[in-house]
Structure 1
Amino acid sequence: MTIQKTAHGTPERQKQRVSDCALSARRNAKKLFPLRVHTGDLERLKSVICDALRLYFYKYQEEIQPWVYFAVHAVWFAVRQLDSRTRFDMLLAAAADCLSAAAATEWEMRTLPDSFASAAVSLGLPEAQVQELQQKRLRGPANPFQEEALLRDILEGVIVPNIALRDKDLELLEDSPMEFVRRDVEGFPACPHLPRRACVSDLIKGMCRLQQQQLQQLLLQLVQQLAGQADAAGGGATERGARLVDSAVFVMAAVASRALHSGAAAAAASPTELAAFFTTHVARELQQQQQQERKCLAVAAALKFLATFRAQLPISLLCESLPLVSALLLSPHEALRAYAAFCMHRLLACRNSQGQRLIDPSSCQPILLKSLSFLRQSLSDVKARENEFAVKALARLLLCLGAAAASESLPLLQLLLQQIKAEASQPGNPVYCHYLFECLAVICRLASDQTRTNAASAEAGASCLQQQHLVEEHVVPVLSVLIQQSQHEFTPYCFQILGVLLEGASRTGTIGSSRLYVDLLEHLLQPHVWVASQGNVPALVRLVSVFLRQLQQQGYHQPQQQQQQQQIQVLLHGRVAQLLERMQFCIYHRKLAAAGFDLLNAIFRFLPFEAYKQLLPTLLTVLLKRAHQLQQQTFNAHLSFSLLLFQCRSPDITALPCGLEQLQQGLLQQVVCAIALPSVQHSLESGCSLSKKKVFMVGLARLAAAAAAAAAEPQLLHKMLQTMETLLSGYDFGSDLLPFVAAAAATERADRRAAAGTDFDPDDDVSWSPATTAAGTAALSGVSAWRYGGFARSAARVAASLAAYDPAEQAARATSQGYVSREQLGVKSTTAGEKGGGKEEGEHAACSMHAVRRKEDGTDYAAAQVRRGQRQSMLLAFPPLGPKESEAIRYRLTIGERGSF
């Protein structure tokens, strides 16, 4: 660089002097740093050789099999001479991968070529040494890793020198404690942020694949050796003792985690041995932390071990350790506060095989409340900002305590809102922001749940209702400001928390008592809110669905509430076109199509048909056009479900068939045959819930009864009846079933509602009410009365199965209300058989109707209820058909460009 800068306008003699100085500096650099430059090149060469050997061990095992013994010993010999300097990390990693590849293969003895000895001598190896190597190879096993001597050599020469933390590894702990904790807890015990430990961890995993029992016994001996050395060095009170404790915990975690994952050698590190190791060598680091100062590394090792093996340690030991972990939440060391919060979250989140918490919140409530107070104090510290582990533990504590945390809710709420405003002004850690909003959502949900639980008591209900209003007064203004400031990172969280508050107000019947929600609804329907970010759309759909649900809400007694309820109804009825435009925006976006159909289903469920009757042709045009453009099974499945749901909910069963035929003659047959029936079959094959089966069954029945095209097309009617019969096939409605299944089905529905966070079951689209079932049965009986007698058997069988879903009282009530007559069913089915299919089909239809009549007699009502509960439990066991994730293409779309409504 100096020569280049002085090249222009410089005398020739000065150029020569500069060149001489540069050459002299280069020679002096070689003299001053001979090892660093030369050794680095040699290490790169050795690393390349190790990589080449690794490829041979993986892919060309036949070619390298005679040389395995020499290759393994050569790699081990090269690694054991390395010291702790950083420039050897690359070679150690390559050598560890090479040894892991060799240890993962079962080698056999092969004869060496005749030219081996002469080639080795020509490369400078003494002949006596070559003969000695050959004799050792012949005396030993075919697989060199079966020799205990080699395993001990690798243990002492590779593993032991590289598990101890170096000064360079601990620099990050001093400079940035939170970053060190993040890297440490994410990969423990693999430790990807520590190069030497990562190599050792990979080597242990590779060697344990075939030599698991033998190696684990050696490693357990090493653990005891390291623990004894740590005790002799003073444990966590000294720097050397703390590093030895950390090394012992690392080796024990590596051995136990490998044994637990494989299962073959779980006895090598049993829960009893884990508990004994923790009690003898690790727990005292937590216990003595109160009396005297311990090194951060030793206490962190104890917390990591407790969090990693929480499921294997005894519950009594976990409960005894919980106060010690709680006290560390206020440790002066920032890293220890993070480790303690991480451990607290893991302990509280752990469950046994029955789904029960290992730590019972009711028995440990005083300790948990004290931990909640400690976390609030820790988060109040300005120096402890952006500790995502503390906020995550706070959310877990609130969920575990529930109503018991009511005394801390308002102070925590104010603290969280302050932190959210600080993060909004200067965004930092996104994970920390995420858990801040999660804690906020938990507090909002607990307030609404407590209000609903204590609704029976007047005093408690009023107090809880007042607390819910306080939560709304604190939260809503902050979220409104974030939405108005267009904080796109936080806007989806704001909408989701507003949805939690809105659902809570909906449960308690206070949604109509505030002008706030009316103003919120007007803002939600604005196009720019939906177009700003696709992350807003799922929360917006949820909010709009809650508002739509209010159209069926009853029980408002105060004049102000009734007035607000009427305003919401008027606003929604007047914004139907805007709702459909938002739906159109979603379905024309590849990643938001599922959310668009959720909004459409909410419109079909809660809005009266008259509100969107005039827009039905345009709606069908938009949906079918998009289906024709995409030609995707996932989109067709959503479309079929929505259309059949509309057919179930619509008071006019001819609206959908007539609407399709008005668009184009024969379109009904195309939609049913090309979209609806294949989608129903695909959903059945993939497994769908009972609620979807209800929608498919009743929707197809009403469609078949109302479709004039079905009467004119025998094949279409035949396919629809076959699909309906498939929906009900495979279930024996007359078998004796266990009585506990009805309770299991009810519990499953309650769990599904609790998971959704609402009393409303989003999948419960069609209930088996008397009107719905009897109408479907009457529709199918009408189908069987058509002149196509060949379909009488299928129609009667489906009608009988559909009617068999209801208990006797519901069928009797349906008959008394005039929905369907049993005599009409029997006469029509028999008449249809006599007209079209002959005596045999008529007798079969009459037998099916006789089964319906026996069902309606109510002779075994209790057994019918049990059978119905068992069927629900069996059908709900199938997972629902989930949306297939589409390709990640950003599809910008404005309402004005695609607006069709």
Structure 2
Amino acid sequence: MASQDLQALAGLLQSSLDPAQAKQAEQALRAAETQPGFAILLLQTVVAAQLPHTTRLSAALLFKNFIRRKWTDEDGNHRLPAADVAAVKREIVGLMITQPPALQVQLGESISIMADSDFPDRWQDLIDDLVSRLSPTDMALNNGVLQVAHSIFKRWRPLFQSDALYLEIKLVLGKFCGPFLDLFKQTDRLVAEHAGDKATLETLFQTLLLLTKIYFDLNCQDIPEFFEDNMTELMGLVHKYLVYTSPLLETDDDDETGPAEKVKASICELIQLYSQRYADVFEPLMQNFIETTWTLLTTTGVAPKYDVLVSKALAFLTTSIGKRSEMFSAEDTLQQIVEKVVLPNVALRPSDEELFEDDPIEYIRRDLEGSDSETRRRAATDFLQELKERHEGAVTGVVMKYVQHYLAQYEQNKAHNWRAKDTAVYLFSAIAIKGLLTASGVSSTNLLLDVVAFFTQNIAPDLVAADAHPILKVDAIKYIHIFRNQLTKQQLGQAFPVLSSMFVSPEYVVYTYAAITIERILSIRQQTNSSHFMFDKEDIAPVAQELLENLFVLIEKGQTPEKLAENEFLMKCVMRVLVTGKETVVPFADSVMQHLLHLLTETAKNPSNPRFSHYMFESLGAVIRFAAPTRPAGAYDAQLFPLFLSILGQDVAEFIPYVFQLLAQLLELTEAPVDGAVAESYKQLVRPLLSPQLWESRGNIPALARLLQALLARNAQAYFVDQGLVEPLLGVFQKLIASKVNDGHGLDLLEAILLHVPLASVERYVRQIAIFILQRLQSSRTEKLVQRFGRFVYFLAAVKKLGPDFAVSFVDQAQDGIFGDVFGQFILPSTTKYHAQMDKKIAVVGLTAILFESAKFQGQYAQYWVQGATVLTTMAQTDTISNYIDILKENDEVEGMVGAMPLRRTLVPGGGLDDDDVTFGASFVKLTTTTTKPIDVRPDVTDNRAFVEAALKAYGSTAQPLLAQLPSDTKAIIAKSYGITV
């Protein structure tokens, strides 16, 4: 590579780290990505020792993201030039293994992405290359090799079983197992030889750490024969390093985990896997590992640097309880367990209190949200709960003695002994929960305990006591959060004003927990009708405005974009109040809108918290949804448009898909004509929306497709036809239909085009459109596409402007006479597979129109009539939709926002299945509050059976010969359902 190219790239990377130059530098880097050889030049920048470390790390990060975006398309085909692909594969392993750890991690992730698509079929020499580089003496080199191997193998951990996966693992095992064992034994010998050499020991323990991680990787799906045959030797080595100690490996900093602790934590993960998955072969060794782990737990200090080790060790013991339940059943054993393991690890430590004061948002995320899965408290709680599940009566009795002891200790001196009560409340919550704690709260509780009485006696006083310690107030709020399903609506209603008063607390954690708990209370569903929430708009209306104003005051304490967006929990509560309040927020919606516009303006300068952003946009969607129809046409458009255009103009990539969704919502909700400046603004937006660059980002596509449909529905003539943009619009359709991921969006867009654009403006393109679709069905057909194509044909037939003859001729334009084959092979078989009510209606109406109104089904395609009529009458019989107005109400109830996003399970007092996995990136995140009613293209049809019956009766008098050909069971259905004798 030319040195000037490398220096130019390094300059752009360095500029991208400067906020003043970042946007321009990023645009230049994106432009450079299109040049052949860019990937190799980027790799050379990563390994250029003469460059600053920050520049090299920036290059490594860019390389990883570049590979993620550009390595393959959605069908697995390489997007880079073949020469670049070959060069990257040839160079990357050798370059990576010689780099510092920070760069190795990023390059390792890149290799993992590449291997995901290419290994083993298109990268057959990868494992041979790695094995050949292993050295008997150079452990630094080996660590690089092992880091690459782990990056590849760890991909297997979350995958479902498949033949392809097992073949890949088998290939790796055949080449890697022998060298793996040899290197493990060699590392063990070197540890003994260099026991007094700190630097060498640290390198060797990094090797051991990678070896134990790879041990897990290679066994994560099933135990290989090699590991079963060599288990005694391998597990002997593993056990040796579970008990290994050396003062040379201890760190002076209480927060810095040492090399030995990292290895031991990794070993605990490994033996947990064996205890959980391979207990039959691990059984002879389990007792020894349990005793060793017990000793480890009772001798390890309380410093934060041991937290991960302790949590992993407890996780292993938690798994072991089910295998060796008898070891933990005696009351004196349980007493020892609680006293020596549980209590030391659930007690509040000075480091926890420091976190509460110095980094409250991190305290909240660790404690409530589930990110503390590697903390002592969480692990000790899981351990205790597993014990309770096995020995409920005994464990409850033992733990309650300590609960009462700590409560009594607190009563003796409340100011000094408040930590004792914190421990008591935590212990009680841990054993009171039965089963999983989910996003909906606790579904059942320990019948030996009265959670409501405990609340009345021990929790409620702390809620109202002015002198209660802030952490006890948090405990009290969290108790309501955990056991909200055990409290009545009246009790929760009484707690509401108390929780609301917490918004004026000076304690960050207190008011944030209050917001979290209010949001969760408003999310409780009725037990008798799970489609409705316990608290409705009438319940929230009297306090909604005050709640929102207090929440905005707290959020707007932030003085920078980052601080404003720091607390997503407050923003989520704003969203929930708006969604619950619905139309009752209309009187003060303009004030709420101003707050949201201020937050959007500031956070757009540096989007830093994707969850906060998501809830902010959901809140905007809620205000628009409920208030826009009550405002003059275009009122909110005029307020939002300048800010939205600024976001689009500045290319704030994280916000752009949200902006498109809100623009579409504004258009869809405005019933009166939008004219003047607002209409002109939308008109000027259309041409840029069709630019190919916007459609390159996968995250933009669903929102862009919806916005184009909204524009078409609003004024297709002015926005597209008059501007000569029909052909570019069809070009977007062509791009989408070619994609397995986006073909559904393509057909949605095509339906909108054919529905709203005058036929005279599109008829000359119809043949080519049909060819595109059928070619896609022929070349890379998917079940999803077949179903969606069938719905599209039925849509054409159902729409009065188009009709069944248009639907048939549309397909026949691709190839004369092909509709029959397509109808029989693809459309009819998918007709009964639709789930959405509107899809079912379109199928019934469209199929009825084709069979009874199309001239070609009495002539050219008459042979398919009987087959179609059989499907139709079966559908009409089994899927009666008596009132299609109900379909249009499907989305009137805004569902819980959590349901719009993936969730991660957590299990702790105060935790819950409520960890919304919202991240910035290429994926699209739908705004639930912008969900619209499905378009009903045939509102005149309100009864399925009546519509089919009318068609049969009108048709029956003239088509007895066709009707006579129907199967006897179909004739019986027609006679029974419609009173028509065939």
Contact preservation (8 Å) 2:589, 2:623: yes
Matching residue of 1:531: 695
In the TM superposition, 1:345-356 aligns within 5 A as: 345-353=519-527, 354-355=529-530, 356=532
- Out of 554, 559, 564, which is 1:378 matched to? 554
SS at structure 1 position matched to 2:683? helix
Matching residue of 2:656: 491
Matched, 1:165 2:348: yes
Matching residue of 1:790: 965
Matched, 1:437 2:617: yes
CA drift of 1:52 comes to: 7.7
SS at structure 2 position matched to 1:401? helix
Name the CA shift for 1:266/1:306 in 2 (closer, same or farther; >3 Å).
closer
Q: Distance in 2 between matches of 1:527 and 1:265?
A: 51
Name the CA shift for 1:702/1:610 in 2 (closer, same or farther; >3 Å).
farther
Matching residue of 1:415: 595
AA aligned to 1:623 is I
Residue range with higher mean Cα deviation, 150-159 or 67-76: 67-76
Matching residue of 1:286: 463
When the two structures are superposed, what TM-score results if normalisation uses the length of structure 1?
0.68
CA drift of 1:643 comes to: 1.2
Deviation per CA, 1:573-628: give whole Å up to 9, x if none.
x5443332222222223322222222222234444544433322111111111111
- Out of 840, 843, 867, which is 1:695 matched to? 843
Name the CA shift for 1:793/1:647 in 2 (closer, same or farther; >3 Å).
farther
Matched, 1:586 2:700: no
Q: Distance in 2 between matches of 1:752 and 1:34?
A: 63
Percent identity between the two aligned chains: 23
SS at structure 1 position matched to 2:651? coil
In the TM superposition, 1:74-473 aligns within 5 A as: 75-86=293-304, 88-89=306-307, 92-105=310-323, 143-187=326-370, 191-192=372-373, 195-234=375-414, 237-238=415-416, 240-241=417-418, 243-259=419-435, 266=444, 268=446, 273-288=450-465, 291-292=466-467, 294-353=468-527, 354-355=529-530, 356-359=532-535, 361-363=537-539, 365-383=541-559, 385-386=564-565, 387-449=567-629, 451=630, 464-465=631-632, 470-473=635-638
Name the CA shift for 1:61/1:480 in 2 (closer, same or farther; >3 Å).
closer
**Which structure is higher in RCO with an 8 Å CA cutoff and minimum separation 6?**
2
Q: Distance in 2 between matches of 1:640 and 1:627?
A: 11
Contact preservation (8 Å) 1:521, 1:544: no
Deviation per CA, 1:88-107: give whole Å up to 9, x if none.
44553454234323311366
CA drift of 1:319 comes to: 2.4
SS at structure 2 position matched to 1:80? helix
Contact preservation (8 Å) 1:213, 1:268: no
Name the CA shift for 1:516/1:678 in 2 (closer, same or farther; >3 Å).
same
Name the CA shift for 1:83/1:533 in 2 (closer, same or farther; >3 Å).
closer
SS at structure 2 position matched to 1:332? coil
Unmatched runs of 5 consecutive residues or more in structure 1 = 1-22, 108-142, 452-463, 552-564, 734-740, 805-846, 851-901
Matching residue of 1:655: 806
Contact preservation (8 Å) 1:361, 1:368: no
Unmatched runs of 5 consecutive residues or more in structure 2 = 1-194, 202-244, 252-257, 895-928
Name the CA shift for 1:86/1:469 in 2 (closer, same or farther; >3 Å).
closer
AA aligned to 1:338 is T
Q: Distance in 2 between matches of 1:608 and 1:256?
A: 66
Deviation per CA, 1:118-170: give whole Å up to 9, x if none.
xxxxxxxxxxxxxxxxxxxxxxxxx2222111111111111011111222344
Matching residue of 2:980: 848
CA drift of 1:785 comes to: 4.9
AA aligned to 2:421 is V
Name the CA shift for 1:618/1:799 in 2 (closer, same or farther; >3 Å).
farther
Matching residue of 1:737: none
Q: Distance in 1 between matches of 2:272 and 2:492?
A: 43
Residue range with higher mean Cα deviation, 745-754 or 644-653: 745-754
CA drift of 1:517 comes to: 5.5
AA aligned to 1:848 is I
Deviation per CA, 1:211-249: give whole Å up to 9, x if none.
233323333333333333333341xx44x51x3333233
Name the CA shift for 1:621/1:538 in 2 (closer, same or farther; >3 Å).
same
SS at structure 2 position matched to 1:276? helix
Name the CA shift for 1:682/1:413 in 2 (closer, same or farther; >3 Å).
closer
Name the CA shift for 1:361/1:768 in 2 (closer, same or farther; >3 Å).
closer
Contact preservation (8 Å) 1:398, 1:443: yes
Matched, 1:723 2:867: no
SS at structure 2 position matched to 1:426? coil
CA drift of 1:637 comes to: 0.7
Matched, 1:476 2:648: no
CA drift of 1:527 comes to: 2.5
Q: Distance in 2 between matches of 1:627 and 1:186?
A: 45
Deviation per CA, 1:477-509: give whole Å up to 9, x if none.
111221222222211111222222222322x45
Contact preservation (8 Å) 2:774, 2:814: no
Name the CA shift for 1:297/1:36 in 2 (closer, same or farther; >3 Å).
farther
Contact preservation (8 Å) 1:379, 1:385: yes
SS at structure 2 position matched to 1:647? helix
AA aligned to 1:477 is P
Q: Distance in 1 between matches of 2:971 and 2:676?
A: 48
Q: Distance in 1 between matches of 2:524 and 2:670?
A: 32
AA aligned to 2:664 is G
CA drift of 1:646 comes to: 0.7
When the two structures are superposed, what TM-score results if normalisation uses the length of structure 2?
0.62
Contact preservation (8 Å) 1:647, 1:703: no
Contact preservation (8 Å) 1:702, 1:776: no
CA drift of 1:51 comes to: 6.7
Deviation per CA, 1:177-224: give whole Å up to 9, x if none.
222222322118xx325x211320231233234223332333333333
Q: Distance in 1 between matches of 2:485 and 2:272?
A: 37
When the two structures are aligned, how many residues end up with a matched partner? 695
CA drift of 1:676 comes to: 0.9
CA drift of 1:67 comes to: 8.6
Matched, 1:675 2:823: no
Matching residue of 2:10: none
AA aligned to 1:310 is R
AA aligned to 1:183 is R
Larger radius of gyration: 1
Residue range with higher mean Cα deviation, 658-667 or 305-314: 658-667
Q: Distance in 1 between matches of 2:365 and 2:294?
A: 33
CA drift of 1:701 comes to: 4.7
Matching residue of 1:836: none
Name the CA shift for 1:434/1:682 in 2 (closer, same or farther; >3 Å).
closer
Contact preservation (8 Å) 1:691, 1:765: no
In the TM superposition, 1:602-681 aligns within 5 A as: 602-649=752-799, 650-651=801-802, 653-681=804-832
Matching residue of 2:173: none
Contact preservation (8 Å) 1:705, 1:782: no
Q: Distance in 2 between matches of 1:624 and 1:24?
A: 73
Name the CA shift for 1:414/1:661 in 2 (closer, same or farther; >3 Å).
closer
SS at structure 2 position matched to 1:311? helix
Name the CA shift for 1:230/1:52 in 2 (closer, same or farther; >3 Å).
same
Residue range with higher mean Cα deviation, 348-357 or 700-709: 700-709
Q: Distance in 1 between matches of 2:259 and 2:634?
A: 71
Name the CA shift for 1:693/1:426 in 2 (closer, same or farther; >3 Å).
closer
Name the CA shift for 1:233/1:796 in 2 (closer, same or farther; >3 Å).
same
